[in-house]
Amino acid sequence: MSTSSAAILGCAGTVLSAEEAAFFRDVRPWGFILFKRNIDTPDQVRKLTAALRDTVGRPDAPILIDQEGGRVARLQPPHWNKYPPGRAYGELVANDPLVAREITRLGARLIAHDLTSLGINVDCVPVLDVPDPKGHEIIGDRAYGDTPEQVATLGRAAAEGLLAGGVLPIIKHIPGHGRAMSDSHLELPVVKAKLAELDARDFAPFRVLSDMPMAMTAHVVYTAIDRRRPATTSKKAIKQIIRGSLGFDGLLMSDDLSMKALSGDFKQRAKDSLSAGCDVVLHCNGDMDEMKAVMAGVGKLSKEARRRAQAVMGRLVKVPEPFDPAEARARFDAAFDGRYAG
């Protein structure tokens, strides 16, 4: 842990190249992230996760994936089950929030079962963004509902289902992407709402789940906090809001550095994110030249980041909660009338 670099990196394909293996051994990222390009069969994924961990010499090194359900799911049939988007849980039983909460937790517990069988121990879930009716559809049905209360309640249920199954959750996109009018993958969103409005709606679910082990930043400018910089690279947003009023003391990671919302070269993006207060930076696409540039701006985990990283790994349960996957899946499918079966 003490020698890890403050980065989470991707790889290009379904197997590690010799160049990638040598690079990862040299730079020793804290963790890795998988995308659809890295996924073929269960056996192949297991070999890849083992190979990635071998490069850094840590058998529990974090390996992340975006397995939300709906349109954001890297594991797909026929090898893996389908899962609904977050919104489907919120709409499940509108007059019985206890049922919605139970099924949300069950869905996450099933996803955790899928992931741990592959050697994946972190899921970039739950989405805690509260969508604005006028906001960009990049969040849309990924949100659990339209109110901070619903998003917080079902977000916690999902996080608890993952934790019980031996998978770490990541709350995203802190302090809130729902009001953004554009997609931060493509351009920099600017949110001009007043701080009181943001605090009451957008920030609220993150305050409720501030005890979670990890959070991913939003590449969004909030003019009420910092008129120039998105939260990822804003000392004000991280110190005053994320660490301050929201009370989040877990490991803070940037969203993907290759998204077009950020400016500057990759070395500068990495340096800006870390100097603003992120503990680790995320680079997803596996492009070797970009990764080398990112790592030129990244040092070892800071003392505080190391403390948080150790606390994160301490949240991984040694033995998952007892679980009958066949019975659980049958109950899950029944709740959705079989819409996501098969």
Q: Does the residue 330 lie in any domain?
A: no
Torsion-angle region of residue 59: left (phi > 0), alpha (psi -120 to 50) or beta? alpha
Average the pLDDT over each of 70-84, 109-123, 174-188 and give the range with the smallest value: 174-188
Summarize pLDDT for 265-290 with one digit per residue, the tens: 999 999 999 999 999 999 999 999 99
Q: Does the residue 297 lie in any domain?
A: yes
User: Per the residue annotation, which of 255, 256, 272, 279 is the catalytic one?
Assistant: 255
| CB-count exposure of residue 128 (10 Å: 0-12, 13-18, 19+) | buried
**292 pLDDT exceeds 60?**
yes
Q: Are strands 168-174 and 280-283 parallel, antiparallel or unpaired?
A: unpaired
Percent helix / strand / coil, the chain, rounded to 5: 40, 15, 45
What pLDDT score does 2 carry?
55
Q: Does the residue 81 lie in any domain?
A: yes
Copy the structure tokens of residue 230: 């998105």
Q: Does the residue 112 lie in any domain?
A: yes
- Range of the structural domain that residue 278 is part of: 5-25+37-317
Summarize pLDDT for 326-337 with one digit per residue, the tens: 999 999 999 999
Q: Which residue has the tokens 């990244």?
A: 298
The proportion of the chain whose per-residue pLDDT surpasses 90, expressed as a percent, equals 89
What pLDDT score does 94 carry?
62
CB-based contact 238:231 (threshold 8 Å): yes
Higher pLDDT, 16 or 99: 16
**177 pLDDT exceeds 80?**
yes
Q: CA 55 to CA 39: how far, in whole Å?
A: 19
Summarize pLDDT for 35-65 with one digit per residue, the tens: 999 999 999 999 999 999 999 999 999 999 9
Q: Does the residue 335 lie in any domain?
A: no
Q: Does the residue 128 lie in any domain?
A: yes
Which of 209, 99, 225, 232 lies closest to 162, judged by CA? Answer: 209
**245 pLDDT exceeds 80?**
yes
Summarize pLDDT for 204-227 with one digit per residue, the tens: 999 999 999 999 999 999 999 999
Q: What is the CA radius of gyration of the chain?
A: 19
Higher pLDDT, 185 or 297: 297
Identify the three-state secondary structure at position 291.
helix
Q: Output DSSP code: residue 36.
A: G
Q: Is 185 considered catalytic here?
A: yes
Copy the structure tokens of residue 48: 């890849």
**7 pLDDT exceeds 90?**
yes
Q: Does the residue 333 lie in any domain?
A: no
CB-based contact 82:71 (threshold 8 Å): no
User: Per the residue annotation, which of 43, 185, 211, 265 is the catalytic one?
Assistant: 185
Supply the CATH number for residue 49's domain: 3.20.20.300
**183 pLDDT exceeds 90?**
no
| Total domain count, the chain | 1
Q: Is 177 considered catalytic here?
A: no
The proportion of the chain whose per-residue pLDDT surpasses 70, expressed as a percent, equals 98
- 181: confidence class by pLDDT, cuts 50, 70, 90: confident
Identify the three-state secondary structure at position 112.
helix
Q: Output DSSP code: residue 198.
A: I
Q: Does the residue 328 lie in any domain?
A: no
What pLDDT score does 3 carry?
86
What pLDDT score does 222 carry?
96
User: What's the maximum distance between 2 C-alpha atoms anywhere in the chain?
Assistant: 55
Q: CA 76 to CA 9: how far, in whole Å?
A: 22
What pLDDT score does 25 carry?
98
Copy the structure tokens of residue 203: 């920030």
CA 259 to chain centre: 15
**85 pLDDT exceeds 90?**
yes
